[in-house]
Amino acid sequence: HHLLRRDDDREDRHPTPPPPPFSPRPLLGSASGAPGLLGLRGWRTLPPAASPPRGTVADAPPVLLTISRSYSLRVAKTKKQTHFDDEHSHRAVNTALWCNFLVFTLKFGVWFSTSSHVMLAELVHSVADFANQALLAYGLRSSRRAPDALHPYGYSKERFVWSLISAVGIFCLGSGATIVNGVQNLWSSQPPENIHYAALVIGGSILIEGASLLVAIKAVKKGAATEGMSIRDYIWRGHDPTSVAVMTEDGAAVTGLAIAAASLVAVQMTGNPIYDPIGSIIVGNLLGMVAIFLIQRNRHALIGRAIDDHDMQRVLEFLKSDPVVDSLYDCKSEVIGPGFFRFKAEIDFNGVVLVQNYLERTGRGVWAKQFREASLSKDDAELRRVMAEYGEGVVDALGYEVDRLESEIQKIVPGIRHVDIEAHNPDGLSV
């Protein structure tokens, strides 16, 4: 965030000894080359330092010099921000990562000994889950990076990117590969061998995946409580997709294991091996539905979604009730990360109330005295000076009101990190 601040404002805060009446260096743009003083407000006529002979450059008529103000580009101090508590998401991802690795080793051993198509589908499922959890863990770490010049709003949305890539991986690797494998073996399947080994591994995998699922459900409950949503609303509209992704993937894993167990039981009881590839196809369709849900959810987050209607309504009601606000125009909001929002509004300020507030802070009598004294002066220079200072004070008062409104909005909805308030021009242009 960059702010333009006047150098003379800095001098007001840190007084320095007054400079000499004239600088030893000539002011650029002076026809006479007479020395001048940089940093003065407005313009002035500079008399020659001495009376040189006639016919020199100084014999020319005096020149009105426009003194331009000097500005400096500074980086504003970063306001203290509230941090979104995603430790429960980290715990859910790490738990699922190691559980999937353990389940993968078990399934690989069983598939190698049984050559079951449904166990191959489950093996591919575990590979996809492990890779997806690794992507989610990377996305969580990347999204915690601090804002920089290239990404001034931070990297919070990066977890949406990696969650989307994870969902695409589930769809392609998990769903597509298992469905293709099942269809290819519908008419050429053979009864799997050593089914009792597969039954033991499926039972152990259900216990492991079930434990990971419980951790993910707990993380989703904490996230829903933090955002004041029901669990169902949080699954569909929550701001942190990571814990929801882990929960849906673990839920699909447990369901897929149950389908695999049912397929093997059907093969064992009927002697018909076709139930084995049918189970593989069902597991693939299940993974496809989970992937489509996660893709849609992360797509909405990346496109840019508005904050909840309840929070938006609270902010608008506050602005409408504030005396300094006459009208509101073009109010917008956007989710820029899990629990982090941006709010923008154009405001038609009430100039009368704004000036009254300014005079109450600075003193009505002080300004009245200055204007009375300036009006009694022989020329208009003093009056113009007082008017310029008063106008500058009114502009500062507008900035004060903007800062006050921004602070109150962030108190109403603490997740709003960035507030952009613009002064609305009645002619239709924003300033």
Q: Is residue 355 part of a domain?
A: yes
Q: How far, rounded to the nearest angstrom, does the alpha carbon of residue 71 sit from its chain's CA centroid?
A: 30
Q: Are 243 and 90 in contact (CB under 8 A)?
A: no
Judgement on whether residues 148 and 238 belong to the same structural domain of the protein? yes
CATH code, domain with 354: 3.30.70.1350
Tell whether 360 is covered by a domain: yes
Q: Which of 303, 320, 350 is the last residue in one of the domains?
A: 303
The secondary structure of 233-255 as a DSSP string is HHHHH-S-HHHHHHHHHHHHHHH
**Residue at which a domain ends, from 271, 303, 335:** 303
CA angle 241–135–96, rounded 5-degree value: 75
**CA atoms of 216 and 239, how far apart (whole Å):** 16
For residue 47, tell me if it sits in a domain.
Answer: no
The domain of 214 spans: 86-303
Residue 377 placed within a domain: yes
Q: Name the band, by pLDDT with cuts 50, 70 and 90, for residue 48.
A: very low
In terms of domains, do 217 and 90 share one? yes
- 341 and 234 share a domain? no
Is residue 143 domain-shared with residue 196, that is, in the same domain? yes
Over residues 371-410, the pLDDT tens digits come to 888 888 887 888 889 899 999 999 999 999 999 999 999 9
Q: CA-CA distances (angstroms) from residue 32 to 21, 36, 37, 46?
A: 17, 11, 14, 9
Taking residue 267's Cβ as centre, other Cβ atoms within 10 Å add up to 22
Residue 76: inside a domain: no
Same domain membership, residue 282 and residue 149 = yes
What pLDDT is attached to residue 429?
Answer: 52
Residue 4 falls within a domain, yes or no?
Answer: no
- 53-74, pLDDT tens digit by residue? 444 434 444 433 333 343 333 3
Band of residue 312 on the pLDDT scale cut at 50, 70, 90? very high
Residues 152 and 247 in one domain: yes
**Are 345 and 277 members of one domain?**
no
Mean pLDDT of the chain: 76
Instruction: Give the separation between CA 384 and CA 377, rounded to whole angstroms.
Output: 11
Q: Structural domain tally of the chain?
A: 2
Strand-pairing partners, residue 51, are none
Instruction: Tell me, yes or no, whether 409 and 389 share the same domain.
Output: yes
Q: Is residue 372 part of a domain?
A: yes
pLDDT tens by residue, 154-211: 888 888 888 888 888 888 877 887 888 788 888 877 777 777 777 888 888 889 889 9
Q: Which helix (H) or strand (E) holds 345?
A: strand 340-349
Residue 218: give its domain's CATH number: 1.20.1510.10
Span 90-100, pLDDT tens digits = 788 888 888 88
Whose structure tokens read 């590979």? 127
* 297/153 same-domain check: yes
Order of strands across the sheet that contains 416-423:
325-337, 340-349, 416-423
Its pTM stands at: 0.63
If asked whether residues 260 and 321 sit together in one domain, one would say no
Residue 30 lies in a domain: no
* Secondary structure letter of residue 62 according to DSSP: P
Instruction: Answer yes or no: do 366 and 401 share one domain.
Output: yes
> Using CB atoms within 10 A of its CB, is residue 321 exposed (0-12), middle (13-18) or buried (19+)?
exposed
Q: Which of 287, 303, 319 is the last residue of a domain?
A: 303
